[in-house]
Structure 1
């Protein structure tokens, strides 16, 4: 399915902006999908999009993790070299913010390549992954502690570092997801993430031909501004953003951003953070 299997309207559902609760205005049509923009906050998302059962079928396909940025994990490939460069750069950035032996949770851990690198760097690691194939590889081949399922299925004890690389664009509701992240983040904890950037030059120049559009799986598209908006509503603040493709954390990626953040302080009356 990841290699171009056709989807029908029966596999899709309509949705609304997770921030404003309103339908979006069409930007691109890729039947049976449409890429839309919220008329209030400008967050870009897919509606109609795949239903949860259809998405699960997509992620359970072994071919989902092969090729593309994942490459062939069984042999040398440029994609695997990039994976190692990203891991090295992101861990170097994290070490300046929250060094090992801090606890680290990766959401959407895939085959466990970043988790294994973080473990080798001295972090105490755990993962959460929706794909059955990804979980089995991470557990059996790399010996990692990975929960199969959504973030809601993961332990709720506080974590020092929570990472989600190329994950936020896939979740059904990024606001709800980030609220769950904040609930698991230690008071002095750090979040780290990467997302495709819909305001990048390739995205703006190529429009509906943008190679990262992928409406069957990328159902939310962020700019640095809309990412900060969703994070703030969830009680988080983005403290730095890496856009440069020459930085190791984002090496070779012309249409991606890497971001770091922390929790906003709670109000003294115990209520939600002021945002």
Structure 2
């Protein structure tokens, strides 16, 4: 008897086992599934980063801080244009805190949550932003005009649960912005190497598959938000403003 497994993006039951993929860090195999409705991919690993890996993550982000601040500043400007009247912002999984700093620089009140202690320390001590170390949950009492999660949802076992939590902390007429490395049709070619530990192409969205466990299509991301109460879902690519940048942010803006 075939097991019915719901898509973590659109909640469809029409998912199929594609292959077993090999984690680059754990070197273990995990069953990868494909949603026939929204064309997202997903697998589950149970992997948890230790302190050494968290430090390595911080060092990578820190080394690209000028690039990230430039394109995050542009993204902030575009979000302010798209959602006039924003005064308060919450970011979940803020990394080094550069989006929070950009929000502060535009005169917004910004708060962030981060589980990486190295990123949290840098954000507080060097950027002077409002960073909370730990997970965002319903114990947090404030609500916001805009809630953002940038390069976070691809890491989640249950992204729909976090989206619902974010919605509960929105002010009236608020908005949610999500950015992930979307899987598009031309990237399906990389599936053929997902079960091998060979060198990965730079454009391979399936490469870091120990931690990138929910691979959203654009349609899958839109369906998730619309099914959970958003009245609209707008996909856009922010302008790339940094010299020799690997690319600006692409994401979906949900309005409520």
**TM-based fold match above 0.5:** yes
Count of matched residue positions in the alignment of Structure 1 and Structure 2: 233
CA contact (8 A) 1:147 1:153 kept: no
Inter-partner Cα distance in structure 2 for 1:184 and 1:56: 28
Deviations for 1:72-109, whole angstroms, at most 9, x for unmatched residues? Answer: 1xxxxxx3332123212211111113356600101110
CA contact (8 A) 1:238 1:259 kept: no
CA RMSD of aligned residues (A): 2.8
Q: Which runs of 4+ in 1 moved over 6 A?
A: none
Give the secondary structure class of the aligned counterpart of 1:151.
Answer: coil
1:17 paired to 2:4: no
1:139 paired to 2:132: no
CA contact (8 A) 2:38 2:219 kept: no
1:212 paired to 2:205: yes
Question: TM-score with structure 2 length normalisation?
Answer: 0.79
Structure 1, unpaired ranges of 5+: 1-14, 73-78, 264-275
**Distance apart, 1:229 and its partner CA:** 1.1
CA contact (8 A) 1:194 1:258 kept: yes
Structure 2, unpaired ranges of 5+: 23-27, 195-199
Structure with higher RCO (Cα < 8 A, 6+ apart): 2
State the match for 2:221 in structure 1.
Answer: 227
CA contact (8 A) 2:231 2:255 kept: yes
1:92 paired to 2:77: yes
Inter-partner Cα distance in structure 2 for 1:179 and 1:84: 28
Aligned match of 1:26 in 8, 11, 18? 18
1:122 paired to 2:107: yes
More moved, 215-224 vs 230-239? 230-239
Give the secondary structure class of the aligned counterpart of 2:247.
Answer: coil
1:240 paired to 2:234: yes
Question: TM-score with structure 1 length normalisation?
Answer: 0.74
Aligned match of 1:43 in 40, 60, 72? 40
